[in-house]
């Protein structure tokens, strides 16, 4: 940072000295020095603004301006038949030479992301894979399950990791809080793991939106620009993106949809881990983390028992299973009495077969 400040001071001093020696204005020395300082200040402000702009946008602006200038020169050369001394022709030449490079500059800067290698390669692919971008947010990277999803091959297209997401991960990894620091380092390790996977295309996007401060809003704007989808497990980002018309892939929703279906009346073997909130209740957990609340199981804590499922509750946070402990001597309850009546004896016997037992989990 000190080198940048020193360079800027030198540039301002050199421009002011040149204005003092060359006298670009027909006024005294103080006016020319002031003019030099103002001119150098404008250049420094422009340079500071340009540093926050993505490289692809700068290249797009330069390329668009060059193309506009070439078109302007071609058009003015085509007016050779017109009278060059006519004021209207002179104005038309000047207007074309100013407006076409300006239009090229603006359009090139607006669509500079098309100069990214992944987008350029996608232009020549017949399958149109340039439109299958999956943009990862910070929460889903730290969560880590996205690496397993990528390894199984369920995500197609290109994974896009924005530069501002990497910056946020680095800030978390450098945090003074040990818990946040570990989470940030875990996220960086997950990214390295994904990049090393064969068959997974990963690209780092330099696209940034300086006018937008919130990272979530930057992700939404980037998804609109790339016509891609946001991969996240953030509930709030999921809702805001859907309200703004951006497609979202929620890892939590994927995990919930992959949990095994449990029907009332089925038998299960569970390990009662702790006491429930209500009287004479026990709590167990399945291998996927689903909570199982068991009636009449308070005295069976730290034991593996057979239960019969009575109901299943699906919430936005996940699934909860309610069951009842089958006490010895009471016999196996019928499927109808458990709330899953059926007239087919084969289905009833199938419902009574025990499911895979759950192992104890730490809470």
For the sheet containing 304-315, what is the strand order?
A: 267-271, 304-315, 318-325, 291-295, 281-285, 274-275
From the list 128, 126, 122, 68, the residue with the least C-alpha distance to 97 is 68
Query: Do 132 and 111 form a contact (C-beta atoms < 8 A)?
Result: no
CATH H superfamily, domain 267-352: Nucleic acid-binding proteins (2.40.50.140)
The structural domains of the chain, with segments of one domain joined by +, span 2-114, 127-257, 267-352
pLDDT at 353: 41
pLDDT at 316: 63
pLDDT at 73: 86
Helix or strand holding residue 105 (H, E): helix 87-110
For residues 172-191, b (16+ Cβ closer than 10 Å) or e, as one string? bbeeeeeeeeebbbbbbebb
pLDDT at 97: 85
Please give the CATH number for the structural domain made up of 127-257: 3.40.50.1010
Q: What pTM, to 2 d.p., does this model score?
A: 0.50
Query: Do 74 and 38 form a contact (C-beta atoms < 8 A)?
Result: no
pLDDT at 339: 41
Phi first, then psi: give them for residue 177, nearest 5 degrees.
-75, 125
Sign (positive or negative) of CA dihedral 211, 40, 24, 72: negative
Helix or strand holding residue 274 (H, E): strand 274-275
Question: Which pLDDT tens digits describe the chain residue by residue (363 residues)?
Answer: 566 678 788 888 888 888 888 888 888 888 888 888 898 888 888 877 777 677 777 888 888 889 988 998 888 887 777 777 777 877 888 888 888 888 888 888 877 767 766 666 655 555 444 458 899 999 999 988 888 888 888 888 889 999 889 998 999 888 888 888 898 899 999 999 988 888 888 888 888 888 888 888 989 988 888 888 999 988 888 889 888 888 899 888 888 777 777 888 888 889 999 988 888 899 999 877 788 999 988 888 998 998 999 998 877 666 789 999 987 765 554 443 444 433 343 344 444 444 444 444 443
In degrees, rounded to 5, the angle at the alpha carbon of residue 132 between the alpha carbons of residues 131 and 138 is 120
pLDDT at 341: 39
Query: Do 358 and 259 form a contact (C-beta atoms < 8 A)?
Result: no
Q: Rounded distance, CA 299 to CA 281, Å?
A: 9
For residues 11-20, b (16+ Cβ closer than 10 Å) or e, as one string? ebeebbeebe
Q: Rounded distance, CA 250 to CA 303, Å?
A: 36
């Amino acid at each position: 940072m000190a080198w940048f400040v020193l360079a800027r001071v030198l540039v301002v001093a050199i421009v002011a000295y040149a204005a003092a020696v060359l006298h670009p204005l027909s006024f005294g020395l103080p006016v020319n020095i002031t003019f030099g300082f103002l001119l150098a200040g404008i250049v420094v402000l422009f340079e500071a603004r340009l540093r926050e702009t993505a490289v692809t946008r700068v290249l797009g602006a330069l390329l668009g301006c060059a193309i506009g200038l070439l078109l302007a020169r071609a058009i003015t050369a085509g007016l050779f038949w017109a009278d060059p001394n006519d004021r209207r022709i002179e104005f038309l030449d000047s207007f074309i030479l100013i407006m076409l490079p300006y239009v090229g500059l603006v359009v090139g800067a607006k669509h500079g992301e098309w100069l990214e290698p992944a987008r350029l390669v996608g232009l020549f692919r017949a399958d149109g894979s340039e439109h299958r971008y999956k943009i990862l947010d910070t929460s889903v990277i730290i969560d880590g399950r996205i690496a397993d999803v990528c390894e199984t091959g369920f995500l197609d297209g290109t994974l896009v990791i924005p530069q501002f997401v990497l910056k946020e991960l680095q800030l978390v990894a450098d945090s003074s809080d040990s818990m946040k620091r570990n989470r940030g380092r875990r996220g960086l390790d997950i990214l390295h793991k994904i990049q090393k996977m064969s068959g997974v295309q990963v690209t780092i996007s330099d696209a940034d939106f300086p006018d937008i401060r919130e990272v979530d809003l930057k992700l939404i704007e980037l998804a609109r620009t790339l016509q891609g989808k946001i991969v996240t497990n953030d509930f709030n980002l999921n809702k805001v993106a859907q309200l703004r018309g951006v497609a979202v892939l929620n890892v939590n929703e994927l995990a919930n949809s992959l949990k095994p279906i449990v029907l009332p009346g089925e038998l299960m073997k569970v390990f009662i881990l702790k006491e429930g909130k209500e009287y004479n209740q026990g709590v167990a957990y399945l291998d996927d983390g689903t909570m199982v609340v068991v009636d009449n199981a308070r005295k069976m804590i730290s034991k593996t028992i057979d239960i019969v499922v009575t109901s299943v509750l699906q919430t936005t946070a996940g699934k909860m299973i309610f069951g009842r402990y089958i006490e010895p001597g009471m016999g196996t309850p019928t499927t109808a009495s458990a709330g899953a009546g059926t007239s087919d004896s084969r289905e009833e016997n199938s419902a009574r077969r025990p499911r895979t037992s759950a192992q104890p989990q730490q809470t």
